[in-house]
A and B are shown apart, each in its own frame.
Chain A
Amino acid sequence: MIETYVLPVLKILVLLNAVLVSVTFMTLLERKVIAWVQVRLGPMRVGPHGALQPIADAIKLLLKEDITPARADRWVFTLAPIVSMVPALIAFAVIPFDRDVTFFGYRVPLFIADINVGLLYIVSVTAIGVYGIILAGYASNSKFPLLAGLRASAQLISYEIAITMMLVSIVIMAGTLSMVGIVDAQYRAGVWYVFLQPVAFVILFIGGLAETNRAPFDLPEAEQELTGGFHTEYSGMRFALFFLAEYANMIVVSAVAATLFFGGWLRPFPNVPALWLLGYVPGWVWFLLKTFVFLYIFIWIRATLPRYRYDQLMRLGWKVLIPLAIANLVVTAILKVLL
C-alpha cells in the first residue's frame, strides 16, 4: 500500500519541486557564468551577489499583462506553452538518481519508474515537445512566428534522428532499454560507456544542444533573427513557461548523458576496490555532480561559440551527424558480434 501509492506520489512531489526550483535558479547561473566569461559580474543587486534575482524575475513575469494577439487561436495559444513544458517534466520519471536509499527503514529507489523501455520513453516525450514550438508559431497569427516555428521544429526533428540512431548503439552495448539496466551494464563492464563509445557521446552532446535550441543552434529564438522567433507574441507567464521548458529540457539532456555515458550513480572506477574511500559519497551526489558539469558545459558553450546559420545547421544535422551515427551503429554491432 505504502510502496505502490504513497511513495511514488511523494517522489513525484519532491522531484517536481526540485526541477522547478532548479530551472529558476539556472537562469541565474547562466547569467552569472556568461557574465564571468565576459569579465563582468552579472546580476548583483537583488540579494547577496544577486542570488535572489530569479525570484525578482518570477514576480515580474507573474505580474505582467497577459496579452493575446487579436484573431489568434485562443485555445491553441494557451496550449502551446503547456505542450512545451509538460514533456520536459515527465521525462524525469525514468531518470535514475540512485539505485536505492534507506529512508526511515524503507528501501526507497530513487527513480519514479523503471519501465523496460525507459530510453525510448524519453526520446518519444522529447518528440512530443516539438508540438509546443509549432503550435506557438501557428497560434500567434503572425508571419514571423509562424515561419520561425516551422524552422525551429524542422531543426528539432532533424536532430532527433541522429540522437535516436546513436541511442540504438548504446542499447546494443547494454542489451536493454531500461535506464537502470544501462547503468548496471556499465557496472558489469567496469568502465563508463564514454570510453567505449566516444563518437556516440559527441553526437549526443551536439544533438542535445540542437534539440534544446541552445547556442550555437539557437537561431530560431535569437532576438536578432526573425524578431524573437516563435515566442514573439508571448508575454508574462507563458513566455516564462517556454524558457523554463527549455531549461528543463537542458537538465533532461544532461541527466541522460550522465546516465548513459558517465555511469549514472556509479563512482569513477566503480570496480576498483582500492578506491573504496570514494564509495562513501552517495550515488545520487555523483549523479547530480555529473549533471551539473554538463549543464555548466552547456552554458560555457553558449558564452563562447558564435551562432550557426540555418542552412549550416541543417547540413550539420543531416549530412554529418546522421551518417556518423549510422557508421557508429554498424561498427558497434560488428564489434559486439565479434568480441
Chain B
Amino acid sequence: MLESLVFYSLAAFILGFGVLVVTARNTVHCVLFLVANFLCVAVVYVMLAAEFLAVIQILVYAGGIVVLYLFVVMLVSLRRAPDTPPDTRRQSQLGFILSAVMLAEMSAILMYSAARPSSAVASAPAPAGGGNTEMIGMLLYSDYLVPFELASMLLLVAMVGAILLARKDV
C-alpha cells in the first residue's frame, strides 16, 4: 500500500518534471526541472534496492553533469541574440507523430510480454552475502573488468577532449 503510494507519486513527479524540462521557456528552469527529475529517479533506484546506484546518480548526474549544463547555460546566455522566428523548414508535427509511433511500439511490446507468464522470475538465486555496494564491486572487478577499464579510458579521453574544445585559442 505504502509502496504503491510512493511509486505513483514518484512516477507523477518524474513524468511531470520531464514534461516541464521539455516545455519550459527559460533554459535555466529546464535545468532545474532536470535536477528534480534526477533526484526522483534516484528515489526510484532506492525502491528497486539499488542504493549504491541511487547515490551515484545524485553524485554524478545531479551533482556533476547538470552543474556542467548550468555553467554552459549561464556562459551562453551572457550575450544572447534575439529570438528568431521558427525556421519554415522545421516540421514539429512529424516529431510528435514519430514519438507517438515509438510509444505505441513500446506499449505493444510491454503488453505482449505481460500477457505471457514469465518463467525465469523467481527461480534466480538470491544474491550473495554483503550489501549492494559489495556485490557491484565484486562484479565490476571480476566479470566486468574490461568494460570498467575501458570506461575509465573513455572518461580520460572525454576529459582531454572537453578541455581542448572549450579552451580559447589564444
A interface with B by C-beta (< 8 Å): 73, 75-76, 79, 115-117, 120-121, 123-125, 127-128, 130-131, 134-135, 138, 146, 150, 153, 157, 177
Contacts and interface: CB of A to CB of B under 8 A. Distances in A.
Contacts of B75: 150
B63 A130 contact: yes
A123 B59 contact: yes
A127 B59 contact: yes
Contacts of A138: 28, 74
Interface string B55-92: 11011001110010011001100100000000000000
A127 B58 contact: yes
A128 B63 contact: yes
Contact of A157 (B58, B64, B131): B64
A153 B26 contact: no
B159 to A, nearest CB: 11
B51 A115 contact: yes
A117 B52 CA distance: 6
23 contacts: A73-B26, A75-B29, A76-B29, A76-B32, A116-B132, A116-B133, A117-B51, A117-B52, A117-B55, A117-B133, A120-B55, A120-B56, A123-B59, A124-B59, A124-B62, A127-B62, A131-B70, A146-B74, A150-B75, A153-B67, A153-B71, A157-B64, A177-B133
A130 B67 contact: yes
A72 B129 CA distance: 54
B133 A124 contact: no
A20 B31 CA distance: 30
Nearest to A126: B63
A127 B67 CA distance: 9
Main secondary structure of the interface of B (DSSP, over half): helix
A146 B75 CA distance: 10
Nearest to B28: A138
Nearest to A156: B67
A247 to B, nearest CB: 22
Contacts of B58: 124-125, 127-128
- Nearest 6 A/B pairs, CB to CB: A127-B63, A124-B59, A124-B58, A120-B55, A116-B131, A117-B55
A218 B75 CA distance: 23
A115 B49 CA distance: 12
A134 B70 contact: yes
A248 to B, nearest CB: 18
B55 A131 contact: no
A150 B55 contact: no
A177 B137 CA distance: 12
A76 B64 CA distance: 20
Contacts of B133: 116-117, 177
A79 B36 CA distance: 13
Interface in B100-150: 131-133
Interface string B25-45: 010110010010000000000
A120 B59 contact: yes
B74 A131 contact: no
A130 B132 CA distance: 28
A116 B29 CA distance: 34
A116 B51 contact: yes
Contact of A150 (B29, B51, B56, B74): B74
Contact of B67 (A75, A120, A157): A157
A86 B35 CA distance: 15
Contacts of B74: 134, 138, 146, 150
A121 B132 contact: no
A120 B53 CA distance: 11
